[in-house]
């Protein structure tokens, strides 16, 4: 019944394949939990998860972290360290029918042996809600320990019923110190690594590989292996050679996932905060990662409206112009137009006065419902409408000094409101001066009207 026949006995060191044809990242997978680098917050001997593993009391888990941070490795080591069998699936290639067949056998295995099956689902976020629901009865009964791995926020990608029955552990992006430790281990390990090649590696070369890996151990080892094959046994690996083999790193970026939203949030907040240098950095990060430039143009149009507004109305004109310029030129020429726009927006005077004013107006529109338009504000194109009082007593603004009357423009039930409160920044300072005069004149006219009514 054991579906993982090469599983070591409890407490034994796992015997991973030493086949030299296997990629270096696979050969060098940690064989024990103590060999895992960079995730001490989760699996150090004093941590609750490590103690649960050693007591064979592991609950169902979700490992959430970036690529190459150790999600699959830790899941395998959990099954090897405990007395369970390990069955891996990938949500990309495995169908739910295949999974259900294994779940059924896992139940038989549990009833016959008393040992649980560790079902590992790589990229569990790719299963839809109905597919995820198939695991619920098996997780609840304890027949399986479900371990999911995901690069996406499980709060959004895993349905709540399943998520409530699982512990979520966040794996950190490996820093360069952790990656250099892994690289040096690969260079000295004569059994699973590259130690037999006796390649001399400069510290600068190790640092460059760690930087290129961008937090991904698998990528670091892949680059290292390519460099070792290039220079050959007994040779010297320098930073310059690493640069020749690997021209540039591949940025960690997911155009539809949480990382995407984190980066656009950083760009927006840098613009809002008035820092053109930070805004340029986040713009470059997103373009380097393959983001659609027109998406960035659209978001910057939103920034011009929301965060700059009438403090600098030209910002919106420029943003639309940059969108059109990119349509005309494309990349890479159009990228410079985006950079010009992001600097302008960051340096422009800021105001969210229209944004907040409109939000308050919408609240009143929802609160008061469909209030009738006052008769004096209605159009009267027919005789019937005129006879009903449509347009009666309307005050034509141009008939008054300064084109300001004391006419009320709100429904009676809503009353007079002041939503828009302009700042003293940029063009809004002029608008602020206009509104001060506008309200002063109206108050004077209303005061006169009140005095006439009293007399």
What is the predicted pLDDT for the residue at 2? 45
Mean pLDDT of the chain: 86
* Residue 259 pLDDT class (50, 70, 90 cuts): low
Q: What percent of the chain has pLDDT over 90?
A: 45
Range from 71-85, 105-119, 250-264, 405-419 carrying the lowest mean pLDDT = 250-264
When pLDDT is cut at 50, 70 and 90, the band that residue 98 belongs to is confident
pTM of the model: 0.58
* Predicted local confidence at residue 257, as pLDDT: 54
Cα–Cα distance measured from residue 336 to residue 314, given in angstroms and rounded to the nearest whole number: 19
In three state form, how does the secondary structure of the chain look? Answer: CCCCCCCCCCCCCCCCCCCCCCCHHHHCCCCCHHHCCCCHHHHCCCCHHHHHHHCCCCCCEEEECCCCCCHHHHHHHHHHHCCCEEEEEECCCCCHHHHHHHHHHHHHHHHHHCCCEEEEEECHHHCCHHHHHCCHHHHHHCCEEEEEEECCCHHHHCCHHHHCCCEEEECCCCCHHHHHHHHHHHHHCCCCCCHHHCCEECHHHHHHHHHHHCCCHHHHHHHHHHHHHHHCCCCEECHHHHHHHCCCCCCCCCCCCHHHHHHHHHHHHHHHCCCHHHHHHHHHHHHHCCCCHHHHHHHHHHHHHHHHHHHCCHHHHHHHHHHHHHHHHCCCHHHHHHHHHHHHHHHCCCCCHHHHHHHHHHHHHHHHCCCCCCHHHCCCCCHHHHHCCCCCCCCCHHHCHHHCCCCCCCCCCCCCCCCCCCCCCCCHHHHHHHHHHHHHHHHHHHHHHHHHHHC
Q: Please check the confidence at residue 254 and state whether its pLDDT lies above 90.
A: no
For 368-407, the pLDDT digits (tens) are 888 889 999 999 889 888 888 999 999 999 998 889 988 8
pLDDT-based confidence at 13, cuts 50/70/90?
Answer: very low
Instruction: Please give the pLDDT value at position 250.
Output: 45
pLDDT value for 5? 43
290 vs 405, higher pLDDT:
405
pLDDT computed for residue 255 by the predictor: 52
pLDDT reading at 106 higher than 90: no
Confidence of residue 447 (pLDDT cuts 50, 70, 90): confident
Cβ distance 289 to 252 under 8 Å?
yes
In the predicted model, is pLDDT for residue 133 greater than 90? no
181 contacts 220 by C-beta, under 8 angstroms: no
pLDDT of residue 7: 42
Mean pLDDT within 353-375: 91
Arithmetic mean of pLDDT, 444-453: 79
Task: Judge whether residue 317 has pLDDT over 60.
Answer: yes
pLDDT at 455: 62
Mean pLDDT of all residues in 159-170: 90
Average pLDDT over every residue of 286-305: 90
pLDDT category of residue 103 using cuts at 50, 70 and 90:
confident
pLDDT of residue 8: 40
Place 258 in a pLDDT band, splitting at 50, 70 and 90.
Answer: low
| More confidently predicted of 259 and 269 | 269
What pLDDT does residue 350 have? Answer: 96
With a cut of 90, say whether residue 347 has pLDDT above it.
Answer: yes
187-222 residue pLDDT tens = 999 999 999 999 999 998 999 898 888 888 999 999
pLDDT band at 247 (very low <50, low <70, confident <90, very high): low
- Per-residue pLDDT, 83: 76
- Residue-range domains of the chain with CATH: 24-170 (3.40.50.300), 176-245 (1.10.8.60), 258-347 (1.20.272.10)
């Amino acid at each position: 019944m054991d579906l993982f026949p090469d599983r070591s006995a409890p407490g034994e060191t796992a015997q991973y394949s030493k086949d030299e044809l296997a990629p270096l990242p696979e050969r060098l997978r940690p064989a024990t939990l103590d060999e895992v680098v960079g995730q001490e917050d989760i699996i150090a001997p004093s941590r609750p998860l490590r103690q649960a593993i050693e007591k064979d009391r592991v609950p169902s888990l979700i490992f959430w972290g970036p690529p190459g941070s150790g999600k699959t490795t830790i899941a395998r080591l959990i099954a090897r360290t405990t007395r369970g069998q390990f069955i891996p699936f990938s949500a990309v290639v495995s169908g739910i029918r295949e999974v259900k067949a294994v779940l059924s056998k896992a139940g038989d295995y549990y009833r016959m042996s008393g040992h649980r099956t560790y079902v590992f689902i790589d990229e569990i976020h790719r299963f839809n809600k109905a597919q995820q629901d198939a695991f619920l009865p098996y997780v609840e009964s304890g027949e399986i320990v479900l371990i999911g791995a995901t690069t996406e926020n499980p709060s959004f990608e895993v349905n709540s019923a399943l998520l409530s029955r699982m512990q979520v552990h966040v794996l950190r992006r490996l820093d360069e110190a952790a990656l250099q430790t892994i690289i040096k281990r690969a260079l000295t390990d004569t059994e699973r690594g590259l130690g037999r090649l006796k390649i001399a590696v400069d510290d600068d070369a190790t640092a460059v590989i760690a930087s290129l890996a961008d937090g991904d151990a698998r990528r670091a080892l892949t680059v290292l292996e390519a460099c070792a094959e290039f220079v050959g046994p007994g040779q010297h690996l320098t930073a310059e050679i690493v640069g020749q083999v690997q021209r540039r790193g591949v940025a960690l970026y997911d155009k539809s996932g949480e990382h995407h939203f984190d980066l656009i949030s950083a760009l927006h907040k840098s613009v809002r905060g008035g820092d053109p240098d930070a805004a340029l950095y986040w713009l470059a990060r997103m373009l380097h990662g393959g983001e659609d430039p027109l998406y960035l143009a659209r978001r910057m149009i939103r920034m011009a409206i929301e965060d700059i507004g009438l403090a600098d109305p030209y910002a919106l004109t420029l943003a639309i112009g940059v969108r059109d310029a990119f349509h005309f030129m494309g990349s890479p020429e159009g990228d410079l137009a985006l950079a010009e726009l992001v600097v302008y927006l960051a340096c422009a005077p800021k105001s969210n006065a229209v944004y907040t004013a409109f939000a308050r107006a919408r609240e009143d529109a929802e609160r008061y419902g469909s209030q009738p338009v006052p008769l004096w504000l209605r159009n009267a194109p027919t005789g019937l409408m005129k006879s009903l009082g449509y347009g009666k007593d309307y005050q034509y603004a141009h008939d008054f000094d300064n084109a300001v009357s004391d006419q009320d423009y709100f429904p009676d039930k809503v009353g007079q409101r002041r939503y828009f409160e302009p700042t003293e920044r940029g063009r809004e300072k002029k608008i602020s001066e206009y509104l001060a005069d506008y309200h002063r004149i109206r108050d004077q006219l209303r005061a006169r009207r009140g005095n006439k009514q009293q007399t």
